[in-house]
Amino acid sequence: MLAIRMRARRRKAVAFATAAVLTALAAPALAVTPATATTTGTTVATATAGSTTDYDSTYYKNAIGKTGTSLKSSLHTIISSQTKLSYSAVWDALKVTDQDPNNSNNVILLYSGISRSKSLNGGNVGNWNREHVWAKSHGDFGTATGPGTDIHHLRPEDVQVNSIRGNKDFDNGGSTVTNGGGSRTDSASFEPRDAVKGDVARMILYMAVRYEGTDGWPDLEPNGNVNNGSAPYHGRLSVLKQWNEQDPPDAFEKRRNQVIHDSYQHNRNPFIDHPEWVESIW
C-alpha cells in the first residue's frame, strides 16, 4: 500500500514539473527596450526615434514631417529668429544657464565637470572662462555679436582645460587631460568626458544649422576631418553622430535649452528637443 502511494506522489510531481515547463515555453518573452548597450565599458543610449515635444505644434510646426535638406532649411529659418547678446553679457548668462543644480553659487564646467564658484570667472589659473565649443577660428568669427556670442555653444570651462582644447576638432582618442574630468586629447583633436559627448555634438550641429552664410557670417558645416584650421568646418561628423546617440539629452541640457529660449536668445537647439533629427539631416 505504501509503495502504491509513493508511486502516485512521484507521478503527480512529474506532472507538475511538465506543466511548469510547458507554461514557460508558451509565455511571451518580455520586451527588451533597446535603450542601452555596453560597448568597451561605456554605456550607450540610443536616442528616441520620433520623439515629440510641447513645441511641435508651435515653434517647430513648419519643420515637422520634413527630412534631409528640407528639414535643415526649415530649422535654420526657425532658429535664426533670436535675440543676440554682447560678449560681456555672456558672463552673466552662463551663470544662469550652467548653474550647478546642487549649488546655486556655482556653475558646472563643461569638459571637467567641476562645480566652481560663479565669481571665479576670468582669465587666471583657477578661473573659468567662456569656451566656444565651435572654435572661433573655424569660421573666423571671433567674439563678435552673432556666432561669437551665441550661448547655445558657449559654456563655462576651466581656463587651463579650455587652453588645452584650443581650436581642435572633436574625435575619439588621445591622452588624458589633467583636471579634464576624463577628457582626452592629441595633437589634432579633443574628446570630452562621456557625460557631455552628446551635448558637444548637439552644440556643433546647432551651429551648422543656425549659421548658413546668409547673414554675413560663414556657412558653418560639420565634416569628416580633423585639423580644419580656419576653414568654416568642424569635425569629425561621424563621431559627433555617434556621441549624439550614446549620450541623449539629460535634465541639465534640457533645462539649459529652456532657459536660453525663455530668458536670453528666445530660440532653441532643435537637436536637444529632437536628437533623431541629426540622423535625418546627416
At 2, the pLDDT band (50, 70, 90 cuts) reads very low
Q: What is the DSSP letter of 226?
A: S
Name the residue with higher pLDDT: 128 or 51: 128
pLDDT in tens, 152-203: 999 999 999 999 999 999 999 999 999 999 999 999 999 999 999 999 999 9
Is pLDDT above 70 for 46?
no
The pLDDT score that the predictor gives to residue 51 is: 72
- Determine whether 212 is exposed, middle or buried from the number of CB atoms within 10 Å of its CB (0-12, 13-18, 19+): middle
User: Amino acid identity of 225?
Assistant: N
Average pLDDT of the residues in 214-230 = 95
Q: Is residue 110 within 8 Å of 198, Cβ to Cβ?
A: no
Q: How confident is the model at residue 45 (pLDDT cuts 50, 70, 90)?
A: very low
Residue 26: CB atoms within 10 A of its CB come to 7
pTM of the entire predicted model: 0.83
Q: How far apart are CA 226 and CA 236, in angstroms?
A: 6
- pLDDT of 49 reads 52
In this predicted structure, what is the pLDDT of residue 37? 33
Q: Which three cell numbers stand for residue 148?
A: 561669437
